[in-house]
């Protein structure tokens, strides 16, 4: 990939790590821990110390069944975090995890550099805000809303259908005036996918490279790991590392994770394996 995000140029295959900061009372794995802005700021600083390349600040849980958050409440959760990080000279690019145009605009004004939209620009106002600010955007695949997405997890060919629906998101971005060069695509692990479909998507994530855009994947602590292993949500780092490794080997550039230090170690080893394999192609 070659893309400027804030002051930083993201160049090459990565892997680049996006550290998660959930300023929410109800996120599936860390709800309530970082609702206080100072706690959220401390978590972002910890991610930076552990080697994150950027951080993603969100104020609305998207766990299955999560209720929508009113715009005023979401603004109250995320804007102070971004303002405080910038006020203390935080150097990493900041992403805002929102699907609302108004929240994106306020977050960008407060110092965010990228918009992470789990709905893939369904809100035209969000598309216009991104286009106007000229910032990059993550277009994630989802069907329906967190309240009803589980019922929409019906696919004949999950990888092909997710690719087609991501193409539609790229078309929405273009219609809003967002250039293709500023988009990053994400298959949306856990969003309108069963555990089995999520595993198949991870196994075939390399197929999405045909869309010609950098890829971001967020497998961190997700329920497919619990389904495969029985591990509770607080004990899914090892499963996350396996998924991160698979993603890096498949050519995914960006990983959205809670456990930056552990994931960085796995991602760097996986990247070395990826590069060593590419250096000596073919059977020996
Ligand atoms: N996953 C979550 C939230 N935002 N954004 C992208 N681009 N990709 C993802 O896979 C993704 C995402 C869900 O994880 P988390 O933020 O930890 O939980 P919650 O939505 O409950 O806050």
213-252 pLDDT tens trace: 999 999 999 999 999 999 999 999 999 999 999 999 999 9
Active-site residue flag, 256: yes
Average pLDDT, the chain: 96
| Residue of 24, 63, 121, 147 best suited for mutating to test ligand 1, as the one with most atoms within 8 Å of CB | 63
| pLDDT score for 66 | 87
56-115 pLDDT tens trace: 999 999 998 888 999 999 999 999 999 999 999 999 999 999 999 999 999 999 999 999
> Any residues with CB less than 8 A from the CB of 196 and at least 6 apart, and which?
none
Residue 152 to residue 35: CA distance in whole angstroms: 30
| pLDDT score for 281 | 65
Contact by Cβ (8 Å): 5, 113 = yes
Helices vs strands, H then E, count in the chain: 9, 10
Nearest-atom number in ligand 1 for the CA of 221 is 17
Active-site residue flag, 105: no
Residue 143 CA, ligand 1 centroid: distance in Å: 14
| pLDDT score for 262 | 98
* pLDDT band at residue 21 under the 50/70/90 scheme: very high
Q: What is the distance, to the nearest Å, from the Cα of residue 72 to the centroid of all Cα atoms in its chain?
A: 23
Q: Which of 193, 222, 264, 274 is catalytic?
A: 222
Please tell me the pTM assigned to this model: 0.97
Nearest-atom number in ligand 1 for the CA of 219 is 10
pLDDT at 284 over 70: no
What number is the average pLDDT over the span 165-175? 97
What number is the average pLDDT over the span 126-142? 97
| Antiparallel, parallel or unpaired: β 8-11 and 2-5 | antiparallel
Residue 276 CA, ligand 1 centroid: distance in Å: 31
Measured by CA distance, the residue closest to atom 11 of ligand 1 is 218
């Amino acid at each position: 990939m070659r893309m400027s995000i804030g002051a930083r140029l993201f160049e090459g295959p990565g892997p680049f790590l996006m550290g998660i900061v959930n300023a929410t009372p109800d996120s599936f794995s860390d709800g309530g821990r970082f609702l206080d802005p100072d706690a959220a700021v401390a978590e972002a600083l910890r991610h930076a110390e552990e080697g994150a390349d950027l951080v993603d600040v969100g104020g609305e849980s998207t766990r299955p069944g999560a209720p929508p958050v009113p715009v005023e409440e979401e603004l109250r959760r995320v804007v102070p975090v971004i303002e405080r990080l910038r006020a203390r000279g935080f150097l990493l690019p900041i992403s805002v995890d929102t699907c609302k145009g108004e929240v994106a605009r306020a977050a960008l004004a407060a110092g965010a550099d990228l918009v992470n939209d789990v709905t893939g620009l369904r809100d035209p106002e969000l598309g216009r805000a991104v286009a106007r600010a000229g910032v990059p955007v993550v277009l994630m695949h989802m069907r329906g809303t967190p309240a009803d997405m589980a019922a929409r997890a019906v696919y004949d060919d999950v990888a092909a259908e997710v690719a087609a629906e991501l193409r539609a998101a790229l078309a929405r971005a273009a219609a809003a005036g967002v250039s293709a060069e500023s988009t990053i695509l994400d298959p949306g692990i856990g969003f309108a996918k069963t555990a089995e479909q999520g595993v198949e998507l991870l196994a075939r994530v390399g197929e999405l490279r045909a869309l010609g855009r950098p890829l971001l994947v967020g497998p961190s602590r997700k329920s497919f790991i619990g389904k495969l292993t029985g591990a509770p949500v607080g004990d899914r780092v090892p499963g996350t590392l396996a998924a991160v490794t698979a993603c890096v080997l498949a050519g995914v550039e960006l990983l959205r994770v809670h456990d930056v230090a552990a994931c960085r170690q796995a991602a760097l080893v996986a990247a070395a394996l990826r590069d060593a394999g590419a250096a000596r192609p073919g059977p020996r």
